[in-house]
Structure formats: structure tokens, C-alpha cells
Amino acid sequence: MINKQQRTVINIVALLPFIFIALFPIYSMLVLSFASEKNLLAFPPKIIPTEYTLNAWRNVFTTRPVLKWLINSLIVASSSTLITLFVAILAGYSFSRHKNRLISGIGYFFFMSRMIPPTLIIIPLYMLFRKFGIINNHLSVILAYTSFQIPFASWIMKSFFDTIPTSLEEQAMVDGCTEIGALFRVILPLCPAGIMASVLASFSLAWGDFIFARTFLSQGELLTITVGIKTFFGQYEVHWNEIMASCLLGAAPLILVFLMFQKALVKGLGAGAVNQ
Amino acid sequence: MDKLNDKLKGVSNKTPQKRKQYLSIFLILPALALILLTIGYPISQMIYLSFRDYNLLMRPKTLLRFIGITNYVYAITNQNFRHSVVITLVYALLVTSIGYIIGLLSALLLNSLQIKAKGFFNLSVCLPWAIPGAIIAYVFLLLFQSPGGIISYWISKIGLDVNWFTQILPSLYLIVIATVWGGFPFITIGLLAGLQSIPNELYEAALIDGASTFKKFFYITLPALNSITAVLLILTVSSAFRSFSIIWILTAGGPLRFTETLGINLYKEAFSNFNFGYASSMGVITLLINMLIIFIYIRLMKKEFY
């Protein structure tokens, strides 16, 4: 029989391939952004570069509009997240507390719209936004992100509201609060984890989007980071270290958020998946 | 806030039941309006366009002419379209099955780990989840360059010397690998939550009965994961149908349109050939396939969603 200690060692050794697979692309993003051009073109390729340079990082911030793209991403992701949060709190509350036929019908419709691939609606949406005159305007992507965030965010809010006993807001209403007042003053302060989970899920959805930004925005200074990096490939030579540096910048906010709020995320999304 | 309350006062003289109903609709209205505007309306528009001749490269005279099911007939008889249906299904199947196997193995290993540094392991395995699809694609573009990519070099060392971008099957494997890398942590997280909800008494009882590790796995662990597995599989399949950026950046549907999934095919028809009518008919067909998946999902769950 193997003892507990040996078991743990075997367990960790068995996990190593998974950790390697998960971390290697992230490691290479980081390391190759500091590698010299000569190193990147070397054959056989080097896992650990022998020549380091800060050129890529300097170029990314000086000659490339990467900072502008990051700010654009931040603008569209946070504005859509804010709109979504407000709207999803109201909708999630309704889904949780006002169960009737109509509301569950709408819930069903929300659920369906969550499964719709963006590619499907992109043609009519493009035509609609052209009519509104918001092509090449951040409003177009903000609007598109918002409606793709709402179903999931309101479902997260709903499952958190479900855990709070109705007697709380009934008490508040007896004390003279309106139902909406009770929602914002009594119920909402009790589920910061729910708000956090909806914000993170919505923000990462918008930050990671490619197709809407690629279709609705075409001017260089309006692009978001995910789409902007693609323009690096149009030139005569591809500077991979600059691409890796920009990729790292584009992934960093979500990686940081993930590291900081991993528990809330896993609780919100993982538990959600179990209860669904 | 006051505005909302003012509006509600208008209905306060109704019966409480009625009032509650008005409030519930009122609360849901902003969300519903936004979704109807940017998802509901476009879908109805897509169905409308799919029966029309709408090619922006043609004379405006024939624009929007009703042409019945011509677009659908064209789609079904078109070899490229049929290929894209097959390749989408193959892609979804590969991504889901490989992703599930990796997710299950990593979740089992993470779950049985009983050490203090457990959090570090959880975090490392699940980190790819935080990386946006487009970024994944750019990184894999470099790692699989032939020659010169680190991973393609390693793979060539073990005897699989292929060009991942110009050869037919490797290009499919490439988009599958990149998608699985970004997608398996979601399955790991879901299954971990499922594993942790299995009561320990079940294993203790099995221990008393002298059940082997394999028996415990097949008679306790797997059955307990059934419902979460169904959810995760359907969500992964549907996200494979949504997948765009990874394929677009890595292969753009090439080589020779081999990795052209429904989404990529539709997008090219619409924004390269400006054939909006035909692309819309593809959209409707994709929608029907998606509805089928959702229907299966709902039958599996047999639960109310909201």
C-alpha cells in the first residue's frame, strides 16, 4: 500500500502536465516579449531567449497606438458593464421575486438569447447601426455588448437574490420603504458577491470581444486591443516581440481580475453551473 | 430612484396582485427592451433578409426583391456550405470531447489534492480561462509557426513534422487545440464544484463495502457528476458554435476553406462578398441547429430556468 505522502507526490506529478499546458503559452507571451528579433527568428526556436531587449515594450508604448487601444477597451467594457449591472439588478430581482407566467416566459427568452452566436445577428445589427449612424462609434459596440451581457448578469443576480429571504424586504416595506427602495437599500447591500460576479463576467465578455469590434469599428484610433493587435500583421515584417507584449497587456487586466477575485468568480459561476 | 417611485405611485391604487405584476414587468422592461433591440429585432430582420435578394454588389433595382427560398436552395446545394456544416459539427465534437476529458482529469486530480498549496494548483490550471480568445489566437499563431514556433518544433521532434497553417487536417487540429486550451478550465471549475458537492458518506460507505478505486469512480463519482456534465457539455458545444476569433485569426477558414465553420462562412459571405441575403439564410439554418441544441439541453434539465 502507498502511504498518504506518496499519494500526494503522485498526485502532484500527475498534475504537472496540466499545469505546464495551462501556463506555457502565458509564460511564452511574457518571455518572448523581451526576446530580441534575432532570437525570435532563430532555428531551432529558443524556449529561454539568450538575448533580451526592451525595444518591443518601448515601441508598443511609443510608436504603436497600443495604449489608445487599451483605453478604448476599458471605455467600452466598463460602460457596457455599468449599464448591464443596473439593468440586470432590476431584471434579476424581478426573476427572483415576481414569479409568474409572463416573467418566466421572458426568462426563457433571455436564456435563448444567451445561446445565440454573435455571428448570426451581426448582419442585421450592422445595418441597424448604420441607420443609427453609430458605425465607427463606440456606442455601437457598447450597445451590442450590453445585450449579450444582460442575460447572464441578470441570471447571476437572480440566483443571488434567491438566497435572500423575502421577509427582509417585507419588513422594510412595512417600515414604509417602497419595493424598489427595499431592493436598493436592503437586498442589494447583502449580495456584494453577486454584484462582483456579474461585473466580472460582463466586463470580461466585453473586453475579450473580437467580432463586434472588428465589424463595427474600422478606424485605427477607435479599435479595441483585441482587434488592434491584428493590424500588426498587415505590415512587411511581423515583430513578434511587440505582438507578445501587446497580447500580455491585453490579457493582463483579466488575469489580474482573475487572480484577485478567483474565489468570487468560481463561486458565482461554478455554483451557478451546478444549480442551473 | 425618485422617478421610479413616482411612476409606481400611479399604479398604487390597483389591487396588490395587479400592482405586483405591473412592477415585475416594469423592472424587467429596460433589460427586455435592450435585448429586443439588439438581438430580437436583428433575428427577425435576418429571417426577412433570408428570403430576399440582397447583394450590395448588385444594381439597386433588384435589391430586396422577394425570391422565396432561393437562398436556402442555394445554401443546401452549395458544397462549401455543406462542408461548413460538417466542419462545425466536427469542430464542436472535438472541442467538447477533448475539453471534457482534460477538464475531468484535471478536476479529479485537483480535487484529490490534500495540501496547503492547493489554491496555487487550482489557480494555475484555471488561468487560461481568463485569456480572451483573440489573444489566445495571436499567441498560438507564434507557437505553431512552421518552422520557428516552439510547440510546432517540439511536435516535429516527436515525428509529426507538419505545417499547421497550410495542411488540411493539422489546421483543424490547431484551431481545436487553441479552443480547448482556452475552454477546458471552465469545465474543470464546473466539475470541481460538482465533485465537492458529493457527500463524503458515500465514499465512506463504499470503503466499508471494500469497493475498489475504479468501482468508486464508476459507481459514485461519475453518476454524481451526471447533471453538471450535461450542463457543461451543452455550454461547451454552444460556445464552439459561437467560436469566431480563434478561427478567424489562426486560419481565417483556410487552407482551401477547410476550417471554414458556419460562422466564418457566413461572415465572409456577408462582409467580403456583401451577399447579405444568402448569408442570412445561412444564419437561419445555424439558428435552427442552435435551437435544436438548446431544446436537447432543456429536455436534459427539465427545469425552469428562471
- pLDDT, one tens digit per residue, over A86-107 is 999 999 999 988 877 888 888 8
CA-CA distance, B45 to B238, in Å (whole number)?
A: 22
Are residue B92 and residue B240 in the same domain, yes or no?
A: yes
Are residue B35 and residue B153 in the same domain, yes or no?
A: no
pLDDT per residue as tens digits for the range A17-73: 999 999 999 999 999 999 888 888 887 888 888 888 898 899 999 988 999 999 999
Residues of the domain holding B109: 74-301
Cis peptide before A45 (omega within 30 of 0): no
pLDDT per residue as tens digits for the range A108-161: 888 888 778 888 888 889 989 999 999 999 999 999 999 889 998 998 899 888
- Does B58 reside within a domain? no
Number of domains in chain B: 2
Are residue B41 and residue B98 in the same domain, yes or no?
A: no
CA-CA distance, B143 to B157, in Å (whole number)?
A: 15
CA-CA distance, B63 to B66, in Å (whole number)?
A: 9
Closest partner residue to A250 among B8, B135, B276, by Cβ? B135
HSE (side-chain half, CA atoms, 13 Å) at B18: 6
Are residue B25 and residue B171 in the same domain, yes or no?
A: no
A232, closest residue in chain B (CA to CA): B138
Inspect the interface and report whether the beta carbons of B306 and A25 lie closer than 8 Å. Answer: no
CB B41 within 8 A of CB A131: no
Inspect the interface and report whether the beta carbons of A270 and B132 lie closer than 8 Å. Answer: no
Rounded (10°) CA dihedral B291, B296, B300, B303 = 30
pLDDT per residue as tens digits for the range B79-102: 999 999 999 999 999 999 999 999
Which residue type, as a one-letter code, is found at position A82?
L
**A168 reaches B (C-beta below 8 A):** no
User: How many helices and strands, by DSSP H and E, does chain A display?
Assistant: 14, 0
**B282 reaches A (C-beta below 8 A):** no
CA-CA distance, B167 to B172, in Å (whole number)?
A: 9
Cα A141 to Cα A120, A222, A250, B247, distances in angstroms: 16, 11, 18, 21
Percentage of the residues of chain B whose pLDDT score is greater than 90: 45
Are residue B219 and residue B130 in the same domain, yes or no?
A: yes
- Does B59 reside within a domain? no
pLDDT per residue as tens digits for the range B151-187: 999 999 888 888 999 999 999 999 999 999 999 999 9
Are residue B162 and residue B121 in the same domain, yes or no?
A: yes
Which residues are within 8 A (CB) of A82 and not within 5 positions of it... i.e. 6 or more apart? none
CA-CA distance, A74 to B217, in Å (whole number)?
A: 45
Residue B167: DSSP 8-state = S
Are residue B148 and residue B112 in the same domain, yes or no?
A: yes
CB B126 within 8 A of CB B236: no
- Does B206 reside within a domain? yes
Residue A125: closest CA among A138, A140, A146: A140
- A8: which chain B residues are within 8 Å (Cβ-Cβ)? 113-115
Are residue B227 and residue B262 in the same domain, yes or no?
A: yes
Query: Helix axis angle, A138-162 relative to A192-207, nearest 10°?
Result: 150
Are residue B155 and residue B288 in the same domain, yes or no?
A: yes
- Does B122 reside within a domain? yes
- Does B200 reside within a domain? yes
Domains of chain A: 65-275 (1.10.3720.10)
Percentage of the residues of chain B whose pLDDT score is greater than 70: 91
